[in-house]
Chains A and B, each alone.
Chain A
Amino acid sequence: MGKHGLLYVLTKKFTTGALIGVTISDRLVSFAAVNGISMSPTLLPGAKCFPQSLTGDVLLVEKLCLEKYRFSQGDVIIFRSPINHKQTCVKRVVALAGEWITIPESHDIVKIPEGHCWVEGDYSASSLDSRCYGPIPMGLIQGRATHLIWPPERMGEIERKVPQRKGRISSY
């Protein structure tokens, strides 16, 4: 250690840490902060009082599901927005490839193509989701949100909730 300066050692340690951190967050788990009210009441239940509240929720995002791309209805996923690749969205998977879904606003029936899924926010009145841009390719998915870790009073697992409006989705 003596022959290298303190700065060198610190830089080396920091770089190593950063590389390991980035790899873990790409491959295993990572965190994601959520803003906006499209997923209330699952996330940000108090947001109706404070629209665009500054206290975002923090999610634990599991990345191992990206090996197989096997998702099921009701999973909360993180994906890159198809209309703005710099933005990441959190929504719930409502229907999977091969299923037919009725869009409530226009009464259209859409078949979800191979390799796509239909995502919607829980707070449907204020959510920009598949009802606007159609089914999204699964390749845009960045991970599955499994736990809510901030704020501490609502810490816990995110439940897999299948939307109530039955009859909207049929599998043939």
Chain B
Amino acid sequence: MAMSVSRLTAWVKKVPTRMAQIPWREIAGEGFDKCAFLIKFGCATHVANKYVFGFAYVMGPSMLPTINLSGDIVLLDKMSPWIGNVKVGDVVVLQSPENPRKSVTKRVLGMEGDEITFLVDPGNEEKSKTVIVPKDHLWVQGDNIYASRDSRRFGSVPYGLVKGRVFVRVWPVDSFGFLNQKK
């Protein structure tokens, strides 16, 4: 018993010297380097994703048959909204005007000044309405007019809500390809 206690005290006495032998400075430096690298990587990803290209997972019935019901992964071109390269017929991702935390994917059918005629309630009645898209707004609609909540519901959307232009479908692999100007 006494033996083990003396060994323990000897061990405890050695602790400070042992602690001093550990290369704290190197460990801290390496940790700092790793953290800095992670932060830089995160920042680069953010900038690339926000201003150059981004991925988006699109699902839902509103863009049938262009985009599958089960969901596709598409590549977004984030530069086009900046340089004003959004044209009629493009598929765009925009922040929903009804819920800013949600993004929706629709096709642009009209730019400012265009006259749009649409069916108010397709499938049920024949009534149609004509509107003129105001300045700096877009008219967006889903390809599947029977199951889409779009400009027919909430009116034309400001250009500032456009986040990116969809241009390549990446997944599923067998339907890889550009999806633009189909209509």
User: What is the interface of chain A, defined by CB distance below 8 A to chain B?
Assistant: 16, 19-20, 22-23, 26-27, 68-69, 79-85, 113-116, 136-141
- A23: which B residues are within 8 A, CB to CB? 42-43, 46-47
Contact between chains at B135 and A83 (CB < 8 Å): yes
CB distance from A137 to the nearest CB of B (A): 4
Contact between chains at B98 and A115 (CB < 8 Å): yes
The listed residue (B50, B97, B137, B159) touching A116 by CB distance below 8 A is B97
Contact between chains at B44 and A19 (CB < 8 Å): yes
- B101: which A residues are within 8 A, CB to CB? 68-69
- A82: which B residues are within 8 A, CB to CB? 136-137, 158, 160
Contact between chains at A139 and B96 (CB < 8 Å): yes
Number of A-B contacts (CB under 8 A): 71
Size range of the chain B interface in the assembly: 20 to 34
- B100: which A residues are within 8 A, CB to CB? 69, 115, 137-139, 141
Contact between chains at A85 and B99 (CB < 8 Å): no
- B59: which A residues are within 8 A, CB to CB? none
Instruction: Given A80-B160, A81-B160, answer yes or no on A115-B47 (Cβ-Cβ < 8 Å).
Output: no
The listed residue (A19, A113, A140) touching B154 by CB distance below 8 A is A113
- A140: which B residues are within 8 A, CB to CB? 158, 160-161
- A84: which B residues are within 8 A, CB to CB? 135-136
Whose C-beta in chain A lies nearest to the C-beta of B40?
Answer: A16
Interface string of B23-59 (1 = CB under 8 A from A): 0000000000000000110111011001000000000
- A83: which B residues are within 8 A, CB to CB? 134-136, 158
Contact between chains at A113 and B47 (CB < 8 Å): no
Whose C-beta in chain B lies nearest to the C-beta of A69?
Answer: B100
In B104-136, the 8 Å CB interface with A consists of 134-136
The listed residue (A19, A114, A116) touching B40 by CB distance below 8 A is A19
Inter-chain CA distance A20–B44, complex, in Å, is: 8
CB distance from A22 to the nearest CB of B (A): 5
- A141: which B residues are within 8 A, CB to CB? 100
The listed residue (A20, A81, A136) touching B39 by CB distance below 8 A is A20
CB distance from A162 to the nearest CB of B (A): 22
Inter-chain CA distance A27–B47, complex, in Å, is: 11
Inter-chain CA distance A80–B159, complex, in Å, is: 9
Whose C-beta in chain A lies nearest to the C-beta of B137?
Answer: A82
With A85-B158, A113-B97 known, 19 other A-B pairs at CB within 8 A are A19-B43, A19-B44, A20-B40, A22-B47, A23-B47, A68-B101, A69-B101, A80-B160, A82-B137, A82-B160, A83-B134, A83-B136, A83-B158, A84-B135, A85-B159, A139-B94, A139-B95, A139-B97, A140-B161
The listed residue (B42, B46, B97) touching A137 by CB distance below 8 A is B97
Inter-chain CA distance A76–B158, complex, in Å, is: 21
Inter-chain CA distance A82–B135, complex, in Å, is: 9
The answer to whether the Cβ of B157 comes within 8 Å of any Cβ in the partner chain is yes
Contact between chains at A137 and B39 (CB < 8 Å): no
Contact between chains at A139 and B47 (CB < 8 Å): no
